[in-house]
Amino acid sequence: MGYRVGFGTIAPNTVQNWSFSFGGNGDVRAQWLLPHPLNPNGRLCTTEVQKQLGGDGHYTYFANILNRGPLTVSFNWDGGGVT
């Protein structure tokens, strides 16, 4: 199942760290987390994806986004389970 979540903007040549949590115990197994640029010529990439088990037994997913282009870009996150 795919999804589109969140909204943000990122300046050129910068990195942001985002976190994602899901219902239940939060374990939705392996996930794709890809930035979805909303501006023409926006070029974004995910540079690191992590999964953390908290002390409460709940999983949180993390992803870094990098803007490799020359413009500030607005974006959403596209994601879904790896099958």
Q: Report pLDDT digits (tens) over 7-49.
A: 999 999 999 999 988 777 778 777 778 899 999 999 999 989 8
pTM (two decimals): 0.82
Q: Report pLDDT digits (tens) over 61-81.
A: 899 999 998 999 999 998 877
Give how many domains the chain has, as a whole number.
1
Range of the domain at 59: 2-81
SS3 of residue 43 by DSSP: coil
Q: Rounded distance, CA 80 to CA 33, Å?
A: 7
pLDDT at 1: 59
Q: What is the DSSP secondary structure assignment for residue 64, as one 8-state letter?
A: E
